[in-house]
Amino acid sequence: MTEPLRLGIAGLGTVGIGVVKIIRRHAALLEARTGRPVMISAVSARDAGKDRGVSLTDYAWETDPVALAVRDDVDVFVELMGGHEGAAKAATEAALSAGKDVVTANKALLAIHGQPLAEQAERAGRVIRFEAAVAGGIPVIKSLTEGLAGNEITRVMGVMNGTCNFILTQMQATGQGYNALFEECGRLGYLEADPNLDVGGIDAGHKLALLASIAFGTRPAFEDVQLEGIQRIQLADINAAADMGYRIKLLGVAQRTARGLEQRMSPCLVPANSPLGQLEGGTNMVVIEGDSIEQVVLRGPGAGEGPTASAVMGDVLDLARGLRIATFGQPAATLQEVPAAQTGLPAPFYLRMGLLDKPGALAKVATVLGDAGVSIDRMRQYGHSEPTAPVLIVTHKCTRAALDAALDGLAATDVVDGTPVALRIEEV
Amino acid sequence: MTEPLRLGIAGLGTVGIGVVKIIRRHAALLEARTGRPVMISAVSARDAGKDRGVSLTDYAWETDPVALAVRDDVDVFVELMGGHEGAAKAATEAALSAGKDVVTANKALLAIHGQPLAEQAERAGRVIRFEAAVAGGIPVIKSLTEGLAGNEITRVMGVMNGTCNFILTQMQATGQGYNALFEECGRLGYLEADPNLDVGGIDAGHKLALLASIAFGTRPAFEDVQLEGIQRIQLADINAAADMGYRIKLLGVAQRTARGLEQRMSPCLVPANSPLGQLEGGTNMVVIEGDSIEQVVLRGPGAGEGPTASAVMGDVLDLARGLRIATFGQPAATLQEVPAAQTGLPAPFYLRMGLLDKPGALAKVATVLGDAGVSIDRMRQYGHSEPTAPVLIVTHKCTRAALDAALDGLAATDVVDGTPVALRIEEV
């Protein structure tokens, strides 16, 4: 096949412009690699007049992305608008109906509507590709769906929100608190319009739902991701974790267990000397474990013009080369609907609480934990000037259910000030 | 396509048996992912009677791998014998002539004969796949050829010989010398029959030549790899490097420069806190840098039954799914023949030498370096009881040619005992 592959690109923000730049800069290289020219027929964005630093005059302009998606001179609809409803969804559906393949960076759209969209794509004999939706430039979707396809995947983990990892590593590096760094992220433009997408773990949760689907052959089920943000992490936690040889990361973990599919996105402690523990700043990392591969770790930039455009182009070039597999790695009808595991596999937990200065307070805590079946591996009580004494506990492995029972028990005592911070320690 | 994909597997060592086990264990999973059964028609190995811990009675047995390669009931010839001449080469050629695709773990065969084999495959309309030949289970060939195909690759680096990395990290961890650990590797079965393949950098050099070809669109040219083994590394080097914040790794680096294609496989210093510096034991790591992606780091097991079989199966399953691209990522006829860069890009170097106890010795060394255009960044002279004083020097960036001139100059003085150790410090 030597006819050009013709793209329609909807959304000319950072990523869209990055894609345009690659296609303009590397026309010869891309043709050498795929055997055919890769070209842009048309683009769409809200503001046609804006200077985007690259010439767009060679391309037809559509105001309406749906009109772009169905153009006769478009083979692949590249959706870079974002948002899980509205124009992105309508244009993706229109593109599939019109027999176009779709390449998208839209994690929310696929995490929430992935199943019906994949089914629609298959009915039309088309595919949806979404490498750019997960972990930016890291070719993790391809590695998991194709390179590691001979494995039964046992666990997938990832640090996939650069803003959260920036805040957590800067807390440790600079000694600033969460609020100060959150505000700094706002000034630097690192936060989504709704910051809860970042610090609440929603953005990373969308990515985890997509990884879980392709890892385990299950329907994408974002609604089943157990979400916990980083807003409650204090400098005291960062420092206590470091003292004990850990780092705190907003970590996504997906695992298929006898009790169902476990999908957690929450702040966890990981060993400081592990690849995940060593990951600093905005870089992303995905850890894939399988029955044959043991463990593969992929690390790279999780956002930005170049890296995300690189991922989009990886998908586009696969299509140019005629490489096509089902959206989630196997036919949508065969994706399993697996119940969500109500509780994670047992793990050690980190607890931090303020203990009121009363006789026997520590003994009460130990008794409550013991009664709930939670045994203590390590405990530290720090000197203090306030009326409450900071106490850190690392438990032996226990279930989250047992831990929650213990937390309820602690709340019923009169010795614990406020709600303890409880973080899972993930074995990596 | 729902007919089975039928394999003929030549070579039933660790990797071959690993492949058989995956196909037996995961028949349903593999069929769900590819849409068709993946089965083994026939196998071959030297000793038919040997107990290999898995039943082979379902498969036809061929004593001659060439006979296996051309069987009518074989679609894909899986070559796991190794060796760059003899049976592996003859059987691969026979398979291509008979219209079979080839999946191989044979780095030497492709690094040396890759160009004519790729041409033969294309004439036959077939492909050769070789994920397992480079960095074991890490899906690096796929990441580079497909996932990152939108990038102009600027540099590829890798620690790709687990035995060498085991020796180097154990020297630091245990304080044992090179010879003791070399012998331990022999006892543990970590060494190739010809140990120079490992410690001389040849095995890793084969892998680098394959990476360079797909990264830069050039003909595989193992003969142009500048090879240097780890045999001269002493504990003193390991410790001195650590003191200065570095680790010593057998590092492959491929870079396309204005002066030609640079391919180096040699012991280098890398920052201790970089992903490469933190890599311990037998694990492999490949670092890929491109104009859009910035840097991606892939880490995983570089050898072993499961991981290598996982890589073989990745290739097999691509073929089952109909995913086919040219052997080295673009048509063999378009691969460029690029001259080898005669000297690497400038870099800082680490030098260790024994200085004879003569007045003005250090001044002579400094003068010789200066005359050769090599300026000194840091120098340390250690206290000593022997007649020679250990001296460590870190240079500012200079070319290897300038450094070699300085080394010649030092040999011509009467103050340096023996040949200095000179290692490049790679910026990673």
Whether the CB-CB separation of B101 and B126 falls below 8 Å is answered with yes
pLDDT at A383: 76
Answer yes or no: is B343 within a domain: no
Q: What is the mean pLDDT of chain A?
A: 95
A15, A23, A310: best mutation site toward chain B, by most B Cβ within 10 Å?
Answer: A310
Q: Is pLDDT above 80 for A93?
A: yes
Quick: pLDDT tens for B63-101: 999 999 999 999 999 999 999 989 999 999 999 999 999
Q: Which of A89, A100, A207, A249 is catalytic?
A: A207
Query: How close, in Å, is residue B145 to chain A by CA atoms?
Result: 9
Alpha-carbon dihedral A155, A159, A164, A167, rounded to 10 degrees: 120
Q: Is pLDDT above 70 for A206?
A: yes
Residues A123 and A178 occupy one common structural domain: no
Quick: pLDDT tens for B339-380: 999 777 899 999 999 999 888 999 999 999 999 999 999 998
Burial state string for B116-125 with b = 16 or more CB within 10 A and e = fewer than 16: ebbbbbbeee
Confidence of residue A357 (pLDDT cuts 50, 70, 90): confident
Domain at A208, CATH number: 3.30.360.10
Does B300 contact A318 at a Cβ distance shorter than 8 Å?
no
Answer yes or no: is B324 within a domain: no
- What's the complex ipTM? 0.96
Does A30 contact B152 at a Cβ distance shorter than 8 Å?
no
Dist. CA B69–CA B10, nearest whole Å: 8
Quick: pLDDT tens for A176-204: 999 999 999 999 999 988 999 999 999 99
Domain at B97, CATH number: 3.40.50.720
Confidence of residue A1 (pLDDT cuts 50, 70, 90): low
pLDDT at A157: 98
pLDDT at B330: 96
pLDDT at B31: 97
Q: Which of B104, B133, B162 is the last residue in one of the domains?
A: B133
Residues B157 and B266 occupy one common structural domain: yes
Dist. CA B187–CA B111, nearest whole Å: 29
Whether the CB-CB separation of B68 and B43 falls below 8 Å is answered with yes
Dist. CA B240–CA A254, nearest whole Å: 43
pLDDT at B359: 87
Answer yes or no: is B80 within a domain: yes
Residues B185 and B294 occupy one common structural domain: yes
Confidence of residue B241 (pLDDT cuts 50, 70, 90): very high
Residues A233 and A152 occupy one common structural domain: yes
Per CB-CB distance under 8 Å, the chain A contacts of B30 are: 149-150
| Portion of chain A with pLDDT greater than 70, in percent | 100
Domain span at B74 = 5-133
- Check residue B322 and give left, alpha or beta (phi > 0: left; psi -120 to 50: alpha): left
pLDDT at A342: 77
Q: Region A386-391: what's the mean pLDDT?
A: 86
Residues B261 and B161 occupy one common structural domain: yes
Q: Which of B235, B266, B301 is the last residue in one of the domains?
A: B301
Per CB-CB distance under 8 Å, the chain A contacts of B313 are: 149-151, 292
Answer yes or no: is B310 within a domain: no
Query: Which helix (H) or strand (E) covers residue A419, if one does?
Result: strand A416-425
pLDDT at B342: 78
Interstrand relation of A388-395 and A349-356 (parallel, antiparallel or unpaired):
antiparallel
Return the residue of B nearest to A300 by Cα.
B296
Query: How close, in Å, is residue A31 to chain B by CA atoms?
Result: 10
Does A293 contact B301 at a Cβ distance shorter than 8 Å?
yes
Answer yes or no: is A178 within a domain: yes
Does A298 contact B298 at a Cβ distance shorter than 8 Å?
yes
Quick: pLDDT tens for A147-179: 999 999 999 999 999 999 999 999 999 999 999
pLDDT at B402: 95
Does B148 contact A217 at a Cβ distance shorter than 8 Å?
no
Domain at B411, CATH number: 3.30.70.260
Select from A147, A294, A306 the Cβ nearest to the Cβ of B292.
A306
Q: Is pLDDT above 80 for A343?
A: no
Residue B207 annotated among the catalytic residues of the structure? yes
Q: Which of A99, A133, A167 is the last residue in one of the domains?
A: A133
Alpha-carbon dihedral A22, A26, A29, A35, rounded to 10 degrees: 70
Dist. CA A153–CA A130, nearest whole Å: 20
pLDDT at A12: 96
Residues B171 and B109 occupy one common structural domain: no
Residues B167 and B238 occupy one common structural domain: yes
Query: How close, in Å, is residue B15 to chain A by CA atoms?
Result: 11
Per CB-CB distance under 8 Å, the chain B contacts of A24 are: none
Q: Region A270-286: what's the mean pLDDT?
A: 95
Q: Is pLDDT above 90 for A335?
A: yes
Return the residue of B nearest to A138 by Cα.
B296
Burial bucket for residue B21 (CB in 10 Å: 0-12, 13-18, 19+):
middle
Dist. CA B201–CA A1, nearest whole Å: 41
Residues B175 and B291 occupy one common structural domain: yes
Residues A163 and A267 occupy one common structural domain: yes
Residues A264 and A394 occupy one common structural domain: no
Does B330 contact A32 at a Cβ distance shorter than 8 Å?
yes
Query: How close, in Å, is residue A331 to chain B by CA atoms?
Result: 8
Residues B385 and B280 occupy one common structural domain: no
Q: Longest C-alpha distance within chain A, in Å?
A: 82
Return the residue of A nearest to B276 by Cα.
A275
Residues B126 and B147 occupy one common structural domain: no
Does A296 contact B137 at a Cβ distance shorter than 8 Å?
yes
Quick: pLDDT tens for A223-269: 999 999 999 999 999 999 999 999 999 999 999 988 899 999 999 99
Answer yes or no: is B166 within a domain: yes
Quick: pLDDT tens for A32-59: 999 999 999 999 998 888 899 999 999 9
Whether the CB-CB separation of A275 and A265 falls below 8 Å is answered with no
Answer yes or no: is A321 within a domain: no
Per CB-CB distance under 8 Å, the chain A contacts of B162 are: none
Q: Region B181-205: what's the mean pLDDT?
A: 94
Q: Which residue has the higher pLDDT, B355 or B48?
A: B355
Quick: pLDDT tens for B295-351: 999 999 999 999 999 999 999 999 999 999 999 999 999 999 999 997 778 999 999
Select from B150, B300, B322 the Cβ nearest to the Cβ of A310.
B150
Dist. CA B12–CA B8, nearest whole Å: 11
The number of distinct structural domains making up chain B is 3
Per CB-CB distance under 8 Å, the chain B contacts of A275 are: 275, 278, 299
Answer yes or no: is A55 within a domain: yes
